[in-house]
Structure 1
């Protein structure tokens, strides 16, 4: 009887027997675990156990689809059944009836409830399905008991090469699905995603600086989604909330926007500064039948993905900042600057390529003009940062941005909206003044706004 320590390398190295014969080898780690190899090269794991006068062969799975680690785990389960005198066939049926990860994933999306008892949002479901498609393909068809920590670690390592955050998210989804399975008694094994080491979380404190606002706000004003980005900046609200902003939730006379449910599970009253109210009044006059401030053609009925528009804004803002540097350095005449500005409006990508090449030739550091690292979410952080610059307390900033921490929640609850409004309006005025488009204590529209 041939024996060896089962490893992937050792098993793959075994040569198939000659035609008409089968080769059987046994594992030295789990002695009753065997692999049978056919002349055609098929390799199958079995548990081999004497029951009475006969030998029982319990098929576990084929290699390498079933790993050595999985085979040993299955073998231990079956041998445990034998030891208790139970019928191992019952254990085999239970494993056959066990759902795959994909099947449990679907049940999870259909039935999972958030802490407040509400179902997962359609956006969250789309995000989870994207993670399944992009990162979890290797475990979709596997039974839950066949998924190991090694599988999860491999998924995490591979996804980390693309995105550390998405890798951590993939592991969190796996863990959530297994927890859901245990809670609903679909699985009683170990969660293979528990205690997987996450990637270090990078600290991000990016926001629009005073030197960037004179270029950012005019670029926003030229965008077809100008109002969306302006309201994101002036309200400090989360991107998804601004996208789904509905007219029924806005009191323009009081300058209040009521968000029924935010990301942290609480409602929020957002005080709108005069510039935001003026923008909304203008949109209201031109609004159609849609209940949303920013209508969309998709299933949600509202704006969903403004990334392309944001990329164009950042490209224009960065190139304008570069053009200012070139003109100040005497590298552009007034006529050349006018031609550059026209090109930037008509073909932003072409203008960017052209003038970045000029900057490279002159050895201008991209850090002196490049703003393309600014994210949409940084508009929210920009309001909070300018509140801090203008003297607002952390409690005021936390309430205006709907932050929720154990330490500060009680303080936020005792605050009313008046100091929040004052802080938001002060920060708004400071930002617009820094951009050079607003006189102190006056309310004006952004220049170059596209008519609707």
Structure 2
């Protein structure tokens, strides 16, 4: 292998002859100590820095290929790396460590498997699903990046970009990212400051939107006109039970006892099961849906077997009803609001909606379903009466089946 000293300029490097097949020539720069150019027989030219480190062992650090890297860039990088080597810092050691370092995707996968909440329980499936959705939408683009390669500016910019239209979502994504790096530090997968911590959150306004008395007639009329009975019934059950959107989507026949008018949700957002009382109108809807599917109450054509994304159907309903700024989650708030309007205590509302609050947990524990059932039936009856679908005290079948 020939070794020659030359002045690294574009003209000189372009004119270098190719070595024989299977051979490689190495050229040393006259101006910069340790800077080399290795030339292979197929014409690949690679800059590298070669020198002995403190213990006397030889180290070669690859810098880049010519002409993508210019001679001047190679010299500047050599000077920088020479300074590190003098301090006993070996760039190759860092590079080798980087190859085996955890990526963001690997961290996220482990986080979902092993992370526990403040009560010591593993993350619920509902929480995992929410994390997966936000990760896929905003962080998956960085999935292959090593943890040490992240900077606080990455997350501050991401937060600002998302916050231009969705400030609450921006806060949620950054909180998740901060939790990921906090978990990585706990598991000794990451050293240094948490790059997603300390970012000032956007102010959030809690939503207080729910269906008012004068909106209910148009809303129920729009639901009755919905051609897809699966989505129509889904929205009705979401309203009449106040259950979370994801739980209603995954409602299974095995969870329902129509004789007791109860729906047992095995896992909710707070990681605990919930028994939901079913009003007579909700029972009627479910009876009419029996036989639609062996497993799911609201079947869908996708891989899960149940409907997953009702946004298009929801948009159709709102358009027919002439309503805006109403989300599917607002149906849950609507039931709670009508319970309060019809005289239910905050404890009853919290029990029926499965809210967790330190100040009311002890009260919840002493409540059975009877007062909850009375409150839910009173509230749903009032809503249906306000919507013009029933007289006070009347029970009616509100979902005569339509063909999809």
TM-score range, shorter chain: 0.7 to 0.9
Match of 2:154 among 138, 148, 151: 151
CA distance in 1, matches of 2:365, 2:356: 10
- Indicate how the Cα distance of structure 1 residues 315 and 204 shifts in structure 2: closer, same or farther if over 3 A, else same: same
CA distance in 2, matches of 1:61, 1:131: 36
CA distance in 1, matches of 2:285, 2:138: 41
CA distance in 2, matches of 1:299, 1:113: 28
Does residue 419 (structure 1) correspond to residue 353 (structure 2)? The answer is: no
Match of 1:431 among 378, 383, 387: 383
SS of match in other structure, 2:343: coil
Tell me, yes or no, if the aligned pair for 1:160 and 1:167 is still in contact at 8 Å.
yes
**Aligned ranges for residues 105-144 of structure 1 at < 5 Å?**
105-109=108-112, 111-112=114-115, 117-118=121-122, 121=125, 127-136=130-139, 139-144=142-147
Does residue 238 (structure 1) correspond to residue 244 (structure 2)? The answer is: yes
CA distance in 2, matches of 1:112, 1:299: 27
Match of 2:348 among 393, 396, 406: 396
Q: CA RMSD in A?
A: 3.9
* CA deviation vs aligned residue, 1:80-113 (integer Å, no higher than 9, x gap): 9839xxx775444323322232333344345545
**Aligned ranges for residues 169-184 of structure 1 at < 5 Å?**
169-184=172-187
TM-score, length-scaled by structure 1 = 0.68
Match of 1:295 among 281, 292, 299: 299
- Indicate how the Cα distance of structure 1 residues 383 and 185 shifts in structure 2: closer, same or farther if over 3 A, else same: same
Does residue 372 (structure 1) correspond to residue 336 (structure 2)? The answer is: no
State the 1:443 CA deviation: 0.8
Tell me, yes or no, if the aligned pair for 1:206 and 1:381 is still in contact at 8 Å.
yes
**Aligned ranges for residues 336-355 of structure 1 at < 5 Å?**
none
| Number of residue equivalences | 355
**Which runs of no fewer than 5 residues in structure 1 stay unpaired?**
1-16, 26-43, 64-70, 319-370
CA distance in 2, matches of 1:448, 1:253: 21
Per the alignment, residue 201 of structure 1 pairs with 204
TM-score, length-scaled by structure 2 = 0.75
Tell me, yes or no, if the aligned pair for 1:149 and 1:193 is still in contact at 8 Å.
yes
Does residue 252 (structure 1) correspond to residue 258 (structure 2)? The answer is: yes
State the 1:222 CA deviation: 2.1
SS of match in other structure, 1:269: strand
Per the alignment, residue 313 of structure 1 pairs with 317
CA distance in 1, matches of 2:215, 2:209: 12
State the 1:117 CA deviation: 4.3
Tell me, yes or no, if the aligned pair for 2:178 and 2:195 is still in contact at 8 Å.
yes
